[in-house]
């Protein structure tokens, strides 16, 4: 494989950096509040965002003043952006990033959301401005400058980790042996795994001390695009039909496709964090008509980037949730730190 030498170099750099943190040469900073990190060991979608939302809700419902700190990947802005003060969403996806805005919309009244690559500095700012008592670090397994009380790592159970290569040839951000740093490992897309028990056993060999949970993604509800963008309630009468055409821009679009109905919904994937243009919408609608479809379906992460675009077809937005095999045990673990 032509990229293998680059993967070897990437792995060596990652190994040196982790060793410097392990030895204390590079310093990890206490953020001054209860801190829970949720991250990945692979690049691309692992179903992390619904878990971030789940953890933030658990903390907020327990009385914590919660702030999600995220890099805000794919946003056009730089520096620190207050995406939500928990009362309202203050920026659009272009400025705040699609996932931060999606989280902010779903957690109104519960969670502050801040996008900043420097999560140590952002944590201090959030504590001072909002008297935050709990921090949720989004996509921070590799962000070792920030100390955490609980390190949760999502692992896609449909991908055989032993067959993965380091970036850029493969999807691993660091060697799978580094899962040993995790306190909790959540096996996502468990319902699609060939053998979830065998997969869990492989993970236990790498980290016998971590708590392991299994998680499945499922549709929670559907909204029309207009209702979603205005913050209105779901319509229980909305359902998918054989005439539905789906599209999304996710790290792992196949995961969305596998959730679609048995009548083989036509599907158009885009790259992760794709910014939609009017030309994209025209192409999507043309493809839908070619498949004799009269309505569209997309995800909440995509829908936050569709405001201001003209869509002539009915468009539904799928709200998804993560279902954990032991929700009480997971909640108790989150609240125990």
Instruction: Spell out the domain ranges in the chain.
Output: 4-217+323-335, 220-320
pTM for this structure? Answer: 0.91
Write down the pLDDT at residue 165.
Answer: 80
List the one residue out of 149, 160, 135 whose CA is nearest residue 183. Answer: 149
Tokens representing 238?
């909305």
CATH node for 4-217+323-335: 3.40.50.300
State the residue for tokens 């700012």: 125
Distance CA(256)–CA(272), nearest Å, equals: 13
Q: What are the 10-residue block averages of pLDDT along the chain, 337 residues in total?
A: 68 86 93 97 82 97 98 92 97 95 95 97 98 97 96 90 77 90 94 88 95 92 94 88 94 85 86 95 98 96 95 95 94 96
49 touches 102 (CB < 8 A): yes
219 touches 234 (CB < 8 A): no
The angle formed by the CA atoms of residues 122, 128 and 133, to the nearest 5 degrees, is: 85
Q: Quote the distance between the C-alpha of residue 311 and its chain's center.
A: 26
Tokens representing 4?
């293998």
Write down the pLDDT at residue 1.
Answer: 46
Number of C-alpha atoms within 13 angstroms, CB side, residue 227? 16
Write down the pLDDT at residue 120.
Answer: 97
Write down the pLDDT at residue 305.
Answer: 96
The reply to whether 4-217+323-335 and 220-320 are identical in fold is yes
Q: Which fold has domain 220-320?
A: Rossmann fold (3.40.50)
Write down the pLDDT at residue 227.
Answer: 95
Q: Which residues of 195-232 are buried (b: 16+ CB within 10 A; e: fewer)?
A: ebeebbeebeebbeebbbbbbbbeeeebbbbebbbeee
Write down the pLDDT at residue 263.
Answer: 67
């Amino acid at each position: 494989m032509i990229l293998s030498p680059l993967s070897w170099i990437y792995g060596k750099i990652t190994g040196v950096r982790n060793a410097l943190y392990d030895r204390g040469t590079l310093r990890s900073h206490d953020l001054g509040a209860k801190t829970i990190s949720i991250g990945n060991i692979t690049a691309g979608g692992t179903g992390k965002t619904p878990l971030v939302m789940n953890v933030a809700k658990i903390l907020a419902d327990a009385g914590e003043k919660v702030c999600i700190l995220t890099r805000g990947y794919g946003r056009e802005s730089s520096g620190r952006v207050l995406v939500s003060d928990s009362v309202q969403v203050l920026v659009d996806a272009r400025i705040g990033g699609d996932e931060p805005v999606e989280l902010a919309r779903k957690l109104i009244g519960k969670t502050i959301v801040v996008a900043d690559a420097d999560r140590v500095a952002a944590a201090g700012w959030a504590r001072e401005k909002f008297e935050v008592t709990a921090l949720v670090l989004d996509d921070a397994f590799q962000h070792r400058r920030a100390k955490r009380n609980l390190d949760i790592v999502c692992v896609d159970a449909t991908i055989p980790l032993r067959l993965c290569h380091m970036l850029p040839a493969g999807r691993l951000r660091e060697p799978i042996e580094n899962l040993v740093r995790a306190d909790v490992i959540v096996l996502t897309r468990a319902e699609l795994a060939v053998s979830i028990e065998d997969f869990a056993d492989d993970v236990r060999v790498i980290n016998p001390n971590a708590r392991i949970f299994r998680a499945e993604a499922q549709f929670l509800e559907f909204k029309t695009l207009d209702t979603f963008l205005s913050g209105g309630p779901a319509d229980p009468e909305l359902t998918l039909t054989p005439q539905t055409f789906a599209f999304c821009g996710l790290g792992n679009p196949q995961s969305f496709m596998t959730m679609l109905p048995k009548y083989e919904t036509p599907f158009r994937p885009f790259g992760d964090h794709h910014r939609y243009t009017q030309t994209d919408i025209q192409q999507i609608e043309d493809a839908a008509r070619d498949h004799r479809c009269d309505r569209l379906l997309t995800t909440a992460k995509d829908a936050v980037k569709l405001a201001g675009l003209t869509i002539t077809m009915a468009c539904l937005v799928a709200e998804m949730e993560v279902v954990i095999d032991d929700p009480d045990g997971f909640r108790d673990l989150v609240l125990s730190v």
